[in-house]
Amino acid sequence: MKVSPFNSYISLSDNRVLGYNSFHRRFIILPQKISKVLQTYDINLMSNNLLHKISPETFQLLKESGFIINSGVDELSILDKELETINCCESNAELHINPTLDCNFRCWYCYEEHMAGSKMSEEVLEAVKNYLNKTIAQPLRHFRLSFFGGEPLLKFDSVCKPLIEEAAGLCAERGASFHTSFTTNSYLLTQDMADYLGRFSCGMQITLDGHREFHNKVRFAPGGIGSYDRIISNVAMLADVGVRVVLRINYTLGNLESVSEIISDLKAQNIVESNKIVIDFQRVWQDKHKGGDEKIKLLIKEYGRQLKEIGISYSLPDLHNPRVSSCYGDKKNYICVNYNGDFYKCTARDFKPERRAGHLAPDGTLVWEPGRREAWEKAKFSREICRSCRIAPICLGGCRQRGLESPDDRRCPLGYDEARKDELILQRFEHQYLND
């Protein structure tokens, strides 16, 4: 027997230690004495026999929880195989489309340079249809068509609907399931659009920037017209026709306290299918250096309780499990096609020509830039600092884009130090056991 390399130990009060195994995602409360033995005798525990002598019951529990494993088990190799299975799955494919890079909003934190008048041409539209015809084929079982931008609803009739119908038809013909989704501000949404999307398995990500007062200072239509009330109404409209809504709340220390009013407004909508709504809390990255972590933790915990009362769930980025649902950009069978036919592997960066992975040929073939494909494939979970990390199963090396942008192999691509790792573990513990 041996100790798993993915164990963490966090000291608590009363000489107790919180143990966490990131491979099996299991927690255990240990006496400090047992914890010291685990950390000291890291190999050949059975031969040493010390831990078993101290407490046979605890020894058995540690085995059952994955803290102690058989000597012949190589958990790192298992992670490599899982990563390969997840990111190179031949049965799933996803295509993101930027119908335009124009937008009806001008949010101060947006990383994109919006291009007025940009629109996918008929030639590029046909190339995308050819790509769909090549991609939606055996052994494909699941296909997702997503729309991004810019604001995709600006080109709903001219780009989105034709591609939805093309992809849905090919999936039905060839026995693959079909799902479509939009990342949108939803301001342009109409009842006809909602009814149309309700015919499909559809999801939408929509963003709020705090309650009405805060949101309307950031997200407004031309002429300075506030968008908050319209968005809340549209969220209810979508949920009622069966469209799943991820309501992303971009929060700062300044607007987070207003979220309780958002919850009240959602409750007042008398939404028929509240289980179609998930709140996704995302801190605005420009605000992260301002601290306030404890305050944020307490507030979000309280909001989780309030949301539960009205049948709405919530998620946090740090609770994400890449072994269950890794980033779409990491996957082999994923690309994002810009309105001009260039394609990318990441939607969290701007769509400048120098960032493109390649371009889409008229017949739907992907033409990669020299060296881009190889660099992308090597950018994840290859660094020694990642492969020797105690929480590697939580992030699997982070995203490939950050790996490409982090030339120092000695540094964590996500910037985590040991204290931050402990924070993530405690956050998971609280979410799993203390939210009720």
85-99 pLDDT, tens digit each: 888 888 999 999 999
User: Cα–Cα distance between 132 and 328 in angstroms, integer?
Assistant: 17
Residue 62 to residue 70: CA distance in whole angstroms:
12
Total residues belonging to the chain = 436
* pLDDT of 249 above 70: yes
d(CA 338, CA 98): 5
Q: pLDDT tens digits for 198-209?
A: 999 999 999 999
Q: Provide the CA 432 distance to its chain's centre, in angstroms.
A: 19
Kindly report whether the global pTM for this prediction surpasses the value 0.95: no
Most confident by average pLDDT, 225-229, 287-291, 293-297, 418-422: 418-422
Cα distance between residue 86 and residue 332, in whole Å: 9
In a domain, 225, yes or no: yes
Q: Work out the pLDDT band at 108, boundaries 50, 70, 90.
A: low
Q: Give the CATH number, domain containing residue 314.
A: 3.20.20.70
Residue 100 and residue 209 share a domain: yes
Inform me whether the pLDDT recorded for 310 exceeds 60. Answer: yes
Gap between the Cα atoms of 235 and 246, Å rounded:
9
Burial class (CB in 10 A: 0-12, 13-18, 19+), 129: middle
| Res 306: pLDDT | 93
- Band (322; pLDDT cuts 50, 70, 90): low
In sequence order, which ranges of 225-382 are alpha helices (DSSP H)?
A: 228-240, 259-268, 293-309, 372-378
Number of structural domains in the chain: 3
- As a whole number of angstroms, the distance between CA 362 and CA 339 comes to 14
Give the residue numbers spanning the domain of 407. 377-436
pLDDT above 80 (res 325): no
Give bridge partners of residue 204 from the DSSP assignment: 182, 245
Q: What is residue 112's predicted lDDT score, i.e. its pLDDT? A: 61
Residues 197 and 262 both lie in one domain: yes
314 and 428 within one domain: no
As a whole number, the mean pLDDT across the chain is 88
pLDDT-derived band at 42, boundaries 50, 70, 90: low
Give yes or no for residue 43 having a pLDDT over 60.
no
37 & 9 share domain: yes
The rounded distance, in Å, linking the Cα atoms of 121 and 127 is 10
42 plus 100 within the same structural domain: no
In this prediction, residues 282-292 reach a mean pLDDT of 80
Cβ–Cβ < 8 Å for 328, 320: no
Kindly state the average pLDDT of the residues 25-36: 89
